[in-house]
Amino acid sequence: MKQPPIALTVAGSDSGGGAGIQADLKTFAAHHVFGTSVITALTAQNTSGVLGVHATPLDFLALQLDAVLSDLPPAAVKTGMLASAEVIAYVATRELPNLVVDPVMVASTGNPLFRGAADAYRVLLPRALVLTPNLPETRALLDREVGTVEDMAAAATDLAALGPRCVVVKGGHLAGGHGADPDAVDVVWFDGELSYLRAPRVSTPNNHGTGCTFAAAVTAHLALGSSLPDALRAAKTYVTRALAGSADWRLGSGHGPLSWKEI
């Protein structure tokens, strides 16, 4: 096996293994990328909810980051749960290549994972190559309702004005029902143009870690040298396959994890 590229995830630990650092490292490994990590918080959680959060002291978070960057320089970096405005402000001071920002604020179970106002992220967005909010995160970042694909397109354009080179507004939370689009649609703003990522919607309760997995897959492909459009398309395909691969699993009593099959 040839030497793999390095990717870094700066995120929280999920004791249930479905999201956060655990999902990121599984996704990196599935793409033959060597994963490194900076843990921003410990969470006590499972498929049903978050029982507690213990944030990493900022000085120790900085020491983790220094340790990785000084010896294992990553080709691409993603952020997940950053826990507080203080952490976001600190991460924004660091030079992090091919930065993918997944603005994790709330777990899929509905439990909060971020202390502070959503606009704290605005200091980090000019550093981002890619911003990947889901619909609740998009609503929080813009302080308005986003409920249709048309709303998502307008939101992607407005978020792009805050500094990231690319924005992917993920549509997994769009309401279904009669006449609804059968596909899972994400809206992409990149270099001034809008486009769409589409894939068949997978009906499954096992969607814990979907956003982490998508952002980690984008990061892995960037580390491997893919162009940004190719990385986004490949990540969409990977997540769709991961959802389908675990659709019938019964791990836990709530929102179960995704599959992490090797590509």
Q: 106-135 pLDDT, tens per residue?
A: 776 667 788 878 899 999 999 999 999 999
Q: 6-64 pLDDT, tens per residue?
A: 999 999 999 999 999 999 999 999 999 999 999 999 999 999 989 999 999 999 999 99
Report the range of poorest mean pLDDT among 46-50, 106-110, 178-182, 227-231.
178-182
Q: Taking phi first (over 0 means left), then psi (-120 to 50 degrees means alpha), and beta for anything else, what does residue 179 get? A: left
* Cα 52–chain centre separation: 21
Domains of the chain by start residue, with CATH:
6-245 (3.40.1190.20)
